[in-house]
Structures are given as structure tokens and as C-alpha cells.
Structure 1
Amino acid sequence: MKDLCDWNTAELGDGDKVEHVRPLTEERTVAQPPKIKSFHRRNREIETVLVTEPKPVAPPATLAATHSMPAEKPEAVLEKEPTPSVSRSPLWSRVRTIKVDTDLAMRRGLPMVDRFRDTESAKAIDLLRTRMLHTLRAQGWRRVAIAAPTSGCGATWVTTNLAQGLARIPNSRTIVMDLNFRKPGVAQALALPVQGDMAGFLSGRLPGHRHLLRLTDGLAVGLNGASTAVGSEVLHNPTAAKVIDTMMEDSRADVALFDLPPVLEHDDLTAFLPQVDGVLLVADGTRTTAKDLAACEKILAGHTQLLGVVLNRARPK
């Protein structure tokens, strides 16, 4: 199968403090400074009084009476107090690790561009990755929804292979979330033997470190193992938005890809639009029409950015 991707860049452009000053005449009765014969003598006297005025210090007996510990103890405690950290238990390091069986994926006939780096499909995926990253970094965006106008256009294939391309970038973190409650397919595309409870995660019942799986140092996935007709209701739940925000903050992911059902067949993507920065459409060169793409653009208009259109299974010239 020859897969070509066409990126549409039309839409392209993450004192000194004086607590109390008594009159100068009163200061002279406390501490009489030496007379200095100078043109500015008066100003110097005022300045000397303010600087050399001793600050009131409580006697040791008073300190001992008000504190049950020695006078030096509070200073020592303040010096040893740890600086608060942003995340004492980073989510990424707590996520379970699982290895992708690429040989099994190949035997199942699932195209993995990581195994064919010299093919036109792999080169197109790398080009898509680079152009998308330029747009995201320029705008400070991190969340991308990937969907097709209709079923069977290859949105899941583009999602998983694009994620692998992003994960190859050193010192980067990518998360793939399977939000296709109608027909989840990320686990199958990656030949993973385990499934996940995406609805439980988005409802807050399942913590992130138990839901996510880390495939490599730079790639984690959130799987969906149950097909349901109430996917849009799950995505409409305000708790889902809070869970996604927490996941992005705790994981410190650079990019999150969300695989969603077809735009023109279900309202799941529309329900999830407030949670993403942009949408990547996957069109099938053998079935997607210009009318389909125009309808998708109309749905997205005013809600989020159309990052581009990937042409999959293009007709040979």
C-alpha cells in the first residue's frame, strides 16, 4: 500500500524601610552624635541618626519565654526548608512501560513507517511531523485532534505513525489518546495486547499513571477498549476537560494527539473541540470529496484551527 500525505499550509500560520522615625530633637537625647563642622552639618546629623539608630532587640529572657526552643533554632529551620517543587511525583515516571511488538504488527499487515524509513510513506510522515511542529511551536499549541470526514480514511494509521515520528525527536514527550469510542483502534494499530478504560479515565475514576502506557521514553498512549454509543456524552462532561488539563500539566507532554471518530458521522469531535488547539483532517484519495472537506471546514469554523489536510491513499498520477 502506498500512502502519500499532502500538507495544506493555507491555515498554518506549548529602600531602606524606616519603621518609625522620631523627631530629631528626641534622637539627640538618646544618642548625641559628634558635631561635624561642615556646610551640610544638619543633613549629616539627620542621616547619622537614621542609620545608626539601634533597632530594638528583645532580651534573651523574653525569647526564651516565648519560644520553647533556642533562639538559633528558627533560623536553622528556615535554612533547611525545602523549596516547593512543581511536581514531586512526575506522572511520566510513574506510567507503566510496555514494549511494542513490531514483528506482530507486521504479521497482522499493519504498516509501521518506523520499519520502512526509506519509503515514500515514511518520508511523508516525517514531513508532516516537521511542518506541524513548526506551527504548534510558533503558536504555543500542544493539543491536536486527528479525524477524518468519514469512516475508513486512515485517521488512526496517521495518528499512530505520526506519534512514532514525534517520539523520535530527542528530549520530547508525545501522548496519544484513543477517543474514538465508536471504533477504537489505537491498540490494534500498535499491536498491543492490552486495552484501556478511557471512559473511566475521563470521568476521574482512573488515575493517569494507571491508565497511560509508556511505549518509549518519548511516547505514551491512552487506550480505549470499549465501543460505546455515548462517546460524545463522555467528552461533553466538564470532568473530562479537567482530567485532560491535569494530564497535560503533570506529564509535561510536548504534543498530545487525540484520535477521534469521523467528523461527518458523529458529534464526538465537535464536543471535544474546546479541548484542542487545532484539527488535522485525514482525507482518503479514493472516497473523500471536496464537498466532504468543505462540510468539515464549516463545522470547525469559529471553534478551532484547521491545521491541514492529509491526503491518504492518493490516486496514482
Structure 2
Amino acid sequence: MERIKDAISKARETQGRSPDLGVRKAVRPVNKAHEADQEDISYSQTQVIELNTKHLEANRIITFDSEDPDAVAFDVLRTQVLSKMEENGWKTLGITSPSPECGKTVVSLNLALSIAKQTDKTALVADFDLRRPRISRYLGIHPEKSLFDVFNNDAEVQDVLINPSFPRLVVLPNNTPVKNSAETLMSKKAKALVQELRNRYQNRIVIFDLPPLMAGDDTIAFLPQVDCVLLVVASGETKPVEVKEARRQIQSNNLLGVVLNKANERQTHYYY
């Protein structure tokens, strides 16, 4: 708990020196030279959808642009997260927050995109916030089938995976809230799905965008299935008592660190 308090305190003291992860600005073309360095990947079964970069930028998804200076903070976070995960042989990461509106989905998508920019890793980000799924909305996609259909046995997982037109990145979206979400996340089907996503590719990092801890028992029910956790808190919004309670709920799960989000209009900080 003291480490979390120190991280939040340090972030507030150092406002003005870290790049903003949420600022909106004119979108520049994606760095084609960087794309040329990526190993060619052909998606024969996964649906490929071209995204609207203006929509991404309006929703604070910025790491698609390698030249955006605000993407640097996520690249640093990526490097530190991957270092710890590789050290322990971990491949699955849950991202949650104490309460709603802390920015966990924005962090999940930006971190996944940053990981996908590496030449030796692929990333999959899955919308496991079954109560309030948002990844599809943030990406501006409207797939006919989603995770909801997989859990209802109306689709296979390979039928709902999407490549959002960026190399080395795959998305498992969800369009519809799922009833009995905690029970669904504890089901044999959910556990088998996690293992399938984890084991299909050796160099894949799987990121699960999870519900806020205090929104119900969904995340606590699911956390034993992931290797490690990132906690996203909102500066000026998340109360110390909420951080303390979130840490208590995570308990023995492998907490990698705390992402301090929304520090101010032009500054967003993370501490690992």
C-alpha cells in the first residue's frame, strides 16, 4: 500500500515533465518506415477491419502513430511490463481499476498497440468487461459476432477475432453485456477460452480489459486466471480508500504496478 501511495504522491509532484497520454491533436500518418520493419503477417481467418484514425485519436487511442510524442510514455510502460512478464514467463495481463471512468480501456488498447509495434511480440486485447464492454466503441468497429456469441455457443472464437488493420495486433471484442457475468467468467468455457488465447501463439501477450473491482465480483472471480495485473487509478478522482480497497481485493495476485491516469488536461503519468 505504501508503494502505491508513494507512486501517486510522486506523480502529482512531477506534473509537467511526463508526456500526455490523453491529449487530442491533429492525426499524422502512421510511420510507414516502422511498418516496413514489421514481419509480414497474413490474416487468412481473422477478419481485417480498417480503422478510422480520427476516431481513434478522439478516443485517446494514440499509440498507432509511432511519431506521436505522447506515445512514448506507453512505450516505456510496455518495456517495463514486458521485462517483468518475460522474467517470470507470464503471458496474460489483466487491467482493472478501483472504480469506473479511470481509463482502463484506454490504457489496455494503447498498451496492446505499443506491444504490437515490437517485432518479436504479438498482442491480443480481449474485452472481458462483460457488464460494460467498450473496446468496440473506442475502436469504432461494429462486428456482427462478438464474445457474447461465443459464450452463448453461437460462434467460435476464431470467427469473432479481428485484426484492426495494424500488424501483430488482434482484438476480441464484445458488443453485448452478458448476464450473470461473474458466473460466466468463472465458467469452464471462459477458462478454456483463456487457455486457448494464451497458448495458441508462443510470443503472444494477451491483455484482458476487466471490469472495475468495485463494480461487482467479476474481476476478483477472474483474476486467478491471469498471470499478473495492472491497476489504473484516476488522479483527482480515485479516492485513497478506493485504492486501499482495490489493493486488498487483489491481495496475492501479481500486481505489476499502478497507472496514474488523468493527471491533468495535458499531462498523464504512470508509475510502475
Determine if the TM-score, normalized by the shorter chain, exceeds 0.5. Answer: yes
Alignment of 1:235 with 2:210, yes or no, is no
- Out of 121, 125, 146, the residue aligned to residue 197 of structure 1 is 146
| Identity value in percent | 27
Partner of 2:233: 283
SS at match of 1:177: strand
Partner of 2:54: 103
- Out of 215, 228, 250, the residue aligned to residue 265 of structure 1 is 215
Q: Distance in 2 between matches of 1:233 and 1:103?
A: 37
| 1:149/1:264 contact within 8 Å kept | yes
**Cα distance, 1:197–1:112 mapped onto 2, change above 3 Å:** closer
| 1:202/1:243 contact within 8 Å kept | no
| Cα shift at 1:313 | 0.7
Listed one character per residue, the Cα deviations across residues 139-170 of structure 1 (whole Å, up to 9, x for unaligned) are 00010000111000000000111111011001
Q: Distance in 1 between matches of 2:191 and 2:125?
A: 16
| Cα shift at 1:182 | 1.4
| 1:175/1:253 contact within 8 Å kept | no
The one-letter code of the counterpart of 2:212 is P
The one-letter code of the counterpart of 1:220 is V
| 1:101/1:192 contact within 8 Å kept | no
Q: Distance in 1 between matches of 2:256 and 2:221?
A: 18
| Cα shift at 1:115 | 5.6
Partner of 1:154: 103
The one-letter code of the counterpart of 2:251 is A
| Cα shift at 1:190 | 1.3
TM-score scaled by length of structure 2: 0.76
| Cα shift at 1:183 | 1.1
Q: Distance in 2 between matches of 1:116 and 1:127?
A: 15
**Cα distance, 1:243–1:181 mapped onto 2, change above 3 Å:** same
Alignment of 1:130 with 2:79, yes or no, is yes
| Cα shift at 1:136 | 0.3
| 2:95/2:207 contact within 8 Å kept | yes
Listed one character per residue, the Cα deviations across residues 31-89 of structure 1 (whole Å, up to 9, x for unaligned) are xxxxxxxxxxxxxxxxxxxxxxxxxxxxxxxxxxxxxxxxxxxxxxxxxxxxxxxxxxx
Partner of 2:204: 254
Alignment of 1:171 with 2:124, yes or no, is no
Q: Distance in 2 between matches of 1:206 and 1:305?
A: 32
Partner of 1:183: 132
Q: Distance in 2 between matches of 1:314 and 1:209?
A: 38
What stretches of structure 2 of length at least 5 have no aligned partner? 1-18, 23-41
| Cα shift at 1:120 | 5.7
The one-letter code of the counterpart of 1:275 is Q
Alignment of 1:299 with 2:249, yes or no, is yes
Q: Distance in 1 between matches of 2:254 and 2:90?
A: 11
The one-letter code of the counterpart of 1:232 is A
Partner of 1:274: 224
SS at match of 2:207: strand
Partner of 1:70: none
| Cα shift at 1:240 | 1.1
Listed one character per residue, the Cα deviations across residues 180-207 of structure 1 (whole Å, up to 9, x for unaligned) are 1111111111122325431332465522
The one-letter code of the counterpart of 1:165 is S
Q: Give the count of matched residue pairs.
A: 228
The one-letter code of the counterpart of 2:53 is T
Question: Greater shift after overlay, 288-297 or 305-314?
Answer: 288-297
Instruction: State the 4+ residue runs in structure 1 displaced beyond 4 angstroms.
Output: 115-120, 202-205
| Cα shift at 1:230 | 1.8
Kindly name which structure, 1 or 2, has the bigger radius of gyration based on alpha carbons.
1
Q: Distance in 2 between matches of 1:162 and 1:127?
A: 10
| Cα shift at 1:122 | 1.5
| Cα shift at 1:213 | 0.8
| 2:146/2:160 contact within 8 Å kept | yes
